[in-house]
Structure 1
Amino acid sequence: MGLIASAAAHFGIESPEMRGDSFEKPASQWISPCAGVNQTASTNRTAWPLTGGAVSLDLHHPWGYVFVNLGIGTDYPSFNISLTPSLLNVTGNGTFCLPAVTLPGGVAISEGTNASIQVVTSGASGSALYNCADITFTSKATPLAADMCVNGTGVTGAIVDASQAQSAGSSTSSAPASTSSTASAASNVKSGSMVSAGVVAGVGALIVSWLL
């Protein structure tokens, strides 16, 4: 029962493939930067598009803040590139998928570059949980299919921002939009469009529903 409760309180990365099992000791998702799961010669690496790709998570908390960072390099890179510059609040247990996490302007990536993606979540306690996935940037990467990047039932995301926020390909709104209780496809969201200035918890939240 203790193991089940521990797993239920944590999260996983569904895509790209997670580096390793962070639910079993000696690993611990409380350990920065990658839950104590070390890179090895046989580390799983997922082919990822040169301009960015999908990130799909399996979340086990009723709500939490989600941050996605990038570290360029093969061996223990520094996760100094934010792929989600705005405060992203995700509500609901289950799959949450960002279909197009794009690289910030000025970040030049060449064919075959190795890197690692770090996902950090934080909830009501303020404590952070960590997981990592290792990737290789390549033009030969197959993007995650739309029907594989689908939010779970009742799972939605909100950009917490002082004024307005905008998702790529959709209009903005000054009031929270209604959410759907049915499964919705996480489409047309690019982290580069998230507003990074003036992010303050407790101020207005724009609910962004990722629908078909």
Structure 2
Amino acid sequence: MRFTSLAFFSGLLTVASAHFALQYPEPRGIRVADDEVNFCDGYPTAASNRSQFPLSGGFVSIESHHQGYTVGVIVSTAQNPSSFDNFTTAVDYFTYEQTGTLCFPINLNATGVSGIKDGANVTIQIVYNGGDGNLYQCADLTLNSTLTSVTNATCANATDTATSTSTSASATASTTNNSAQTFSGFSLAALLSVAGVAMSLL
């Protein structure tokens, strides 16, 4: 599914007070809180030193500064994606209530996106909403089918113990892959309606 239904949010002017930080994979640039409302956190050009990332069985880790938020991941196989039209949904949007660290699985090989394969250069963009507007951060990756573990990266949630981490991640994957798209408790149709009114007032 092309990432066009939510793309208009990037144009809305909003002051965001609830921020997040992409912990893994390595973000495109140093996080600038004031620029998170912009495409790829204000970094328009893909990084030249892409991170190696598992083709299957990867994960994303973020640090949320807000309790109660919606998050999802979109992916692009363009070498230097410049707009939301270049992206497709990779992890359906889901809500999470705990502040602090959140780790969730991402299996890019299972997305069915054309161009996702061993050795491909891709960009993922994390889309986060803590209730006051969308925030964005990107990571530029090279997919590796033989990569099964990640050095110096851990997958744990703020409320996880070491023994429950993998179970929690699996449960999250099951939930996100089978859920209807919602955004902060509202249906997408309702948000489109509200955003249409907002845009007419600009």
- The TM-score, its normalising length taken from structure 2, stands at 0.67
Alpha-carbon shift at residue 128 of structure 1 (Å):
0.6
Give CA-to-partner distance per residue, 1:124-156, whole Å, 9 cap, x none: 23x1111001100122434347x81000138xx
1:119 to 120, 123, 126: 126
Q: 1:51 to 1:192 in 2, by over 3 A?
A: farther
Equivalent-residue separation in structure 1 for 2:97 and 2:48 (angstroms): 31
2:159 to 140, 153, 156: 153
Q: 1:54 to 1:124 in 2, by over 3 A?
A: same
Equivalent-residue separation in structure 2 for 1:199 and 1:20 (angstroms): 29
The range that moved more, 49-58 or 11-20, is 49-58
Indicate the SS of the match to 2:91. coil
Conserved in 2, the CA contact under 8 Å of 1:50 and 1:139?
yes
Equivalent-residue separation in structure 2 for 1:129 and 1:151 (angstroms): 20
For residue 89 of structure 1, what is the aligned residue in structure 2? 95
Residue type of the partner of 2:118?
E
- The TM-score, its normalising length taken from structure 1, stands at 0.64
The range that moved more, 101-110 or 69-78, is 101-110
Q: 1:116 to 1:191 in 2, by over 3 A?
A: farther
Q: 1:199 to 1:20 in 2, by over 3 A?
A: closer
Identity of aligned residues (%): 31
For residue 169 of structure 2, what is the aligned residue in structure 1? 187
For residue 67 of structure 1, what is the aligned residue in structure 2? 72
Count of residues paired in the alignment = 164
Alpha-carbon shift at residue 196 of structure 1 (Å):
4.6
Residue segments in structure 1 that go unaligned for 5+ positions in a row: 1-5, 155-181, 204-212
Q: How does 1:2-17 map to 2 (within 5 A)?
A: 9-17=18-26
RMSD between aligned residues = 3.3
Equivalent-residue separation in structure 1 for 2:25 and 2:86 (angstroms): 16
Alpha-carbon shift at residue 111 of structure 1 (Å):
2.5
Q: How does 1:1-150 map to 2 (within 5 A)?
A: 9-23=18-32, 28-31=35-38, 33-39=39-45, 43-51=48-56, 53-76=58-81, 78-85=85-92, 87-102=93-108, 103-105=110-112, 107-125=114-132, 127-144=133-150, 148-150=154-156
Residue segments in structure 2 that go unaligned for 5+ positions in a row: 1-14, 188-202
Alpha-carbon shift at residue 118 of structure 1 (Å):
0.3
More helix by proportion, 1 or 2? 2
Higher RCO structure, 1 or 2 (CA under 8 Å, sep 6+): 2
